Amino acid sequence: MEYSGPKHKLEVTLPSEREIVMTRVLDAPARLVFDAFTKPELIRRWLLGPDGFSMSVCDVDLRVGGKFHYVWRKDDGGREFGINGTYREIAPLARIVHGENFDEPFYPGEAQVTTAFAEKGGATTVTMTMAFDTREIRDGAIESGMESGIVASYDRLERILQEG
Amino acid sequence: MEPIGYELGSGHLDATFMALADPTRRAILGRLARGEASVAELAAPFGMSQPAISKHLKVLERAGLVHQGRDAQRRPRRIEARPLEEATKWLEGYRKLWETTFQRLDALLGELQTDATHRRRTKRRKK
């Protein structure tokens, strides 16, 4: 099949010095999208970053004050990395606020992540707002994502070329 | 504020993003993208004083987004494309990583919806 790219484009903006905002439309009702963001058996199937990673730990205690812990492992036996955090606010099907940091933190404090779900005509717009303590930490987060992002896009390009 | 360097690195990108955060400065860049212009030529369409435009130009120049041309009298300003390309590339890498992730979510949601339809149909048939 010819690769035509995703139907909905992910938008990434930097509305202030300390924030990253991502917006993406998903063709599914909020009920399913909310499940995909909160049920471990579903999270494991998509929240994987670049190709070649899988989740070795995916614990979710979905209540205010409850904790979550995700660990990713590279399939070829590479090193693991994880993030953990605490839920601050849960409005079912509408909004989740949590704090998060890496298991081996490279910055102090927590990032505050707000995930909002808005359903309209059977599609759901997800808006993730990540607020960091300083601009330097935010920029570091973008830079670390950038490296793996480039790897992922090359992998995908290779696949597209093979499909020819 | 910390000094703004011209070396490649996040300090440089900070200056770029700070310069781009203002709508007037984005409009000035939009105008300069169509060709060089003097301060007076830039001030007119924006309905701003020349000193006000000069202030914005200084921020853009510090970020390396705008350069002064050679003509000593008119001192036309010219757009510099490279820092803009760097800034776009920087954020684009991050966007691509998450795009891959969201495409996986698209596939999963598609599957879940097909499963749900299938289950409903099977149920109906059993009745």
Which residue matches tokens 């717009």? A125
Residues A19/B105, Cβ–Cβ less than 8 Å: no
Which residue matches tokens 């990108």? B13
Measured CA to CA, the distance from residue B36 to residue B76 in angstroms comes to 6
**Is the CB of A27 less than 8 angstroms away from the CB of B10?**
no
pTM of the model: 0.68
Mean per-residue pLDDT, A54-58: 92
**How many other C-beta atoms are found inside a 10 Å radius of the C-beta of residue A128?**
17
**Is the CB of B109 less than 8 angstroms away from the CB of A24?**
no
- At A74 the pLDDT is 81
pLDDT value at A17 more than 80: yes
Residue B2 confidence class, pLDDT cut points 50, 70, 90: very low
Residue B72 confidence class, pLDDT cut points 50, 70, 90: confident
- Taking all residues of chain A, what is their mean pLDDT, rounded to a whole number? 84
- At B13 the pLDDT is 67
List, in order, residues 6 or more apart from A12 with CB less than 8 Å away: A20, A21, A22, B91, B94, B95, B98
**Is the CB of A45 less than 8 angstroms away from the CB of B108?**
yes
Superfamily of domain A11-163: START domain (3.30.530.20)
| Lowest-confidence pick of A91-100, A130-139, B7-16, B35-44 | B7-16
pLDDT in tens, A30-54: 999 999 999 999 999 999 877 788 8
ipTM of the complex: 0.81
Give B28 or B8, the one with higher predicted confidence.
B28
Q: Is B90 within 8 Å of chain A by CB?
A: yes
Domain positions in chain B are 10-126
Torsion of Cα atoms, A150 then A123 then A131 then A61, to 10°: -100
| Lowest-confidence pick of A4-8, A60-64, A67-71, B35-39 | A4-8
Q: In which element (H, E) is residue A112 found?
A: strand A111-120
| Lowest-confidence pick of A87-96, A151-160, B33-42, B91-100 | A151-160
pLDDT value at B74 more than 60: yes
**Is the CB of B93 less than 8 angstroms away from the CB of A51?**
no
End-to-end alpha carbon distance in chain A: 9
pLDDT in tens, A130-164: 999 988 888 888 877 655 544 454 444 445 444 54
Of A12, A17, A42, nearest to B108 by CB-CB distance is A42
pLDDT value at B52 more than 90: yes
| Lowest-confidence pick of A93-97, A154-158, B87-91, B99-103 | A154-158
- Taking all residues of chain B, what is their mean pLDDT, rounded to a whole number? 79
Alpha-carbon distances of A8 from A11, A45, A123, B10, rounded to whole Å: 9, 20, 11, 30
Highest mean pLDDT among A52-61, A138-147, B31-40: A52-61
Fold of the CATH domain B10-126:
Arc Repressor Mutant, subunit A (1.10.10)
Which residue matches tokens 């800034």? B87
Measured CA to CA, the distance from residue B113 to residue B127 in angstroms comes to 22
pLDDT value at B4 more than 50: no
Q: Is A132 helix (H, G, I), strand (E, B) or coil?
A: coil
Measured CA to CA, the distance from residue A35 to residue A41 in angstroms comes to 10
Distance of CA A65 to the CA centre of its chain: 20
B26: amino acid identity, one letter: R
CA torsion sign for B96, A114, A17, A104 is negative
Pairing of strands B66-68, A53-60: unpaired
Of B94, B100, B105, nearest to A12 by CB-CB distance is B94
Of A9, A139, A145, nearest to B97 by CB-CB distance is A145
Q: Residue B80's beta-bridge partner residues? A: none
